Structure 1
Amino acid sequence: MLPVQTNDRCSRSGSVTVPFSVHSRAVDESDLDRLRYHGDQATGPDLLDFAVNVAAAGPPPWLRDRLAARLHTLGAYPSAAEDRETREVVAARHGRHPDEILLLAGGAEGFALLPRLAPRLTAMIHPSFTEPEFALREAGLPVARVLLEPPYRLAGARVPDAADLVVLGNPTNPTSVLHPAADVLALRRPGRLILVDEAFADTVPGEPESVAGRRLPDVLVLRSLTKTWSLAGLRCGYLIGPVGLLDRLRVGRAHWPLGSLQLAAIRACSEPVAVVEAAGWAVTLAAHRAAMADRLVAAGAAVHLPAAASFLLLHLPDAERVREQLRTQGIAVRRGDTFPGLGRSHLRVAVRPPDQVDALLAALDRIRAYADRS
């Protein structure tokens, strides 16, 4: 295992590199537990959910009907023909070849496969989704955290020269920052692989900074269908990348890794009519996000802007108290301190329609009024 080192040649302003050299799961067990914390652990059946970034309305009726129509086929194993057909639809959606698509049981499975690439050193661009770091460190692989400082721009990233794998999100969870594709691709180096987590790319109108359609030998792109289409319980996603890399990720994978309903959902959500519908939803979401941000700022919250995805990052001096009191009023928000580079003064809130934002702001008003009286 190579030692984790930084090199002055890669140093730029705007970020800090924190090294880890992990030899077993027993190392930093509490830190690994924090990496495994996600928004679904904050919510519950009786709570108004601002903690999870899945579209709150649920799958559209046409998608539910499409899946229901496949229930009678559950007695048969998923076939190679179904897998191929699904990959053809996904490939057409991104202008790629079917062999450049690896279907996944949710985006998280893609991160769980990363240790099969045996990177010598992975640079994790943070703050970001923590599941890929968890998977790599649990496997005993060394990770260097590249902590971006506000405004969390990639141009300031101090990525170690020794890193042969760089993982980043675009747009990034939880900061909602959309990085220019040019900045993403500027991280490429000989002998280095870039993995871009585009789980929320379809929440951005027009997907202008996506690199999913670019055929590059050293770039993998991960996509999730569970956010926009409200399919978190079905687990649907895929990887896009060079055939040789995808073949390495397949080694040791279970036979029939996806069920027939997952394959049907991926096909349905990747067809042209669905892509058009998702694009329209992204425009609506952008309007809701802008209005929600304005109202939160007016209510005294510091909102990280510009924001591009289906969530907003808030900075409140008493964020932990606010989170707990919101919960007593039936509202769940996502704590920020489990994201490397953020702290107890951060909260993440999902973008929701105006009527749900009304309830959130009313609760915040009550919390502030109580604090003023105390």
Structure 2
Amino acid sequence: MLALLSDEQQMLKEVAAQIAGSAGPANPGDLRTLDRAAAWRSLAQSGLLALRTRDGGSPAGSGVEVAVVAEALGAGLVPVPYLGSAVLATELLALAGAHDEAEVLAEGGSRTGVLLDGDLSALAVLPGDETVYGWDVDGADGALALTGVRGGYQVVRVSLETGFVPVPGADLTRTLLRSDGPVGAASPTPVGSPLSAEDLWRWEALALTAIAADTVGVMRAAVARAVAYSKERVQYGVLIGSFQAVQHMCAEAYVQAEASASAVNYAAWAVDELEPAEALLAARTAKAQCASVAREVTETVMQVFGGIGQTYEHIAHVHTRRALTDRQVLGDEGVQLLRIADVRLTGE
């Protein structure tokens, strides 16, 4: 593969970056006043919510294009449920053949999220005894999960209007809901046709790649902020960027972020170009790489900012919080590496 964006993809990147620049917070206080509905409308009007809808069987946008948008919104810390509704939920609906419902989400008039298990490491399978979480469900009235059926899994919709309560999470830019008890078997409504194992592999490949791309955006933007600050902050009469220790910290963070970007680029290409099992393996590799360095990179940035970087009023910790949650959703590096080992050692 050639890891270069086409002219159209470059334009998409610029549009997404422009929206992210106007819709993201400059400081944590902005998260209380940003017009999230306007940001969502901008994404819908630009067609960015429709990338995984199907036209004639093929997605309108490739995994590469989804990753481009996810990275831009992660870089801007944009507090809208792009991953939850436009990627994870829309892809599930499309794979299940519920194209009309996917089109409704693409228009931006309604939102649907996904339910994750108790440690956020997998899509929830109902009924279950454990608590489930609705992740990235800002403005959503329902969320998707799975139930087991003969030969595969059935996508089901669960209402979020009752039985769920908001809970504080590390990530200040996304909404997290928790079920206040087990989600019963009678409540979920089946959606579309059952999914095969290969369908779920394809879905998970896209989901892991998109989350990893968001993490790359968070890390790259955080490092860029730290480098810019080191070029203007004067201490002991000189710029802190002249200190070798600061240079080494920024350089190491940059290398880790760019290594993650390389892994994501390949995984994004693989989503639609390789067989589901191989695409999933590439996505697990990208997620493991991003998850293993996300905390170190973003906490290094907080250190470069010094004392102000440790305060609530500074934006640095918002990067760290979003990266930490991205790391956990659908499994951290430990989960991914164990599953990669299972495939490599047992072929399963």
What TM-score, normalized to structure 2? 0.25
What TM-score, normalized to structure 1? 0.24
By percentage of residues, which structure has more helix?
A: 2
Higher relative contact order (CA 8 A, sep 6+): 1
